[in-house]
Amino acid sequence: MLALQNALRGDEQRLDGLSSKTGIPVGRLHELANGADPTMREVRSLAGVLKLAIPDLAPLSKETERAEILFREMAHRKHIPAAALVETLSQRMAYSLELLHQAKSVPWWAKEFRSLPQGNPEAFAMHFRSFFCNGDSVSPLLSLPGLLLERLQLMLHVVNTPHFEGASAYVDGIPFIFVSARFPPRMLFTCAHELGHLLAHHDPEADFATIDSSTDLQEHHSHSVSERFAHAFASALLIPPAGLGIVLKKIRQLANIPEQSPLGDVEMLYVSRVFGVSFEVAARRCEDLDLLPRGGAVSLNNTLKEMYGSAEKRAEMLHLPPRPVISFPPLPLTLVNSAVERIRKGEVSIGRASMMLGLSIKDLLTANSTQLQ
């Protein structure tokens, strides 16, 4: 129970505070700190007080050390505060690998992108839409998280950890994406950004990981070729040129804006809502397509911050329609199904699987009975 033991490290005063907040006697906290097995009630109480997810307190897997090495090296290279972040990402990856319990393999879809010209994010984005979106090169892609889970069988985890925006990795050929819990449009862009990293990495058989402290406009100016590619890929995937042209034309008709007048904040605010991205991303995409002058995206965004507090507050003042809902499934269904199968075979206990997934034993039993039907 090493993860929980680590979380309970501290002096007597700290344990006294935890005891008063959780209702768990100090003596019992000492037992847990020394390796005793906790009940789910104790884990839930401690997770709430420590502001950790339940999986972060689960027993460490034998795969954790390998994952830690990958993420620690990348965090150091990008000057990202590493300790808590590396531990969280490593644990989630290790638990997934243990519960999936599959032989090393390569994603079946990886070969689809190997023949594309390197360094051409527009081509990668259009090929992805052609292959996974039935050739739709116009519509918003708000369903991207579900698509990655269902069609690509990708391990997508949402984590509530500071100091990072997103991360991606291949381990044993299994693709992972981690997204920090934030403003949903920002999470959608991060999800697409990390997908760009995975698609551009042409050797899924080799273990690989990257961590991004930011995926916004700052990364667009990064000296890193991989970051520039991932940023441009995400923009092209979420805001395809043909769809953007249709939306801008419709917006101008509805708002009675002359065709020849320069694009302004109203059009960008509508575009950001239609395609489920932030105002900055929408404006930057228009700038990249030469619909705004160089520097226009930053200038517009700064103006809205100075005059209205933020782009979102400006949208509220204009009574724009609410943003569409963007859903991130709490867990990959493939992972849950695999865990249930391993429980049925007696390869993992339901208590351990419950802690790893952050699900109650009741929910896992329900999933188990559903599979048996």
Assess contact for 272 and 311: CB atoms under 8 A: yes
Q: So what's the pLDDT on residue 372?
A: 41
Q: So what's the pLDDT on residue 168?
A: 94
Sheet holding 166-171, edge to edge: 155-159, 174-180, 166-171, 208-212
Q: So what's the pLDDT on residue 127?
A: 95
Residues written for the chain? 373
* The pair of three-digit structure tokens given for residue 232, joined into one six-digit string: 């441009």
Which residues of the chain are modeled with pLDDT < 70? 1-3, 11, 59-61, 78-82, 102-104, 215-223, 365, 367-373
Q: So what's the pLDDT on residue 341?
A: 87
* The pair of three-digit structure tokens given for residue 136, joined into one six-digit string: 């739709």
Q: So what's the pLDDT on residue 288?
A: 94
Can you tell me which residue has the tokens 């920090």? 180
Which of 231, 214, 112, 218 minimizes the C-alpha distance to 165? Answer: 214
DSSP helix/strand/coil, 208: strand
Q: So what's the pLDDT on residue 237?
A: 98
Answering whether pTM is above 0.95, one says no
- Nearest-angstrom CA–CA distance, 348 and 61: 12
Tell me which amino acid residue 164 is. F
* The pair of three-digit structure tokens given for residue 101, joined into one six-digit string: 């319990």
Q: So what's the pLDDT on residue 148?
A: 95
Q: So what's the pLDDT on residue 23?
A: 86
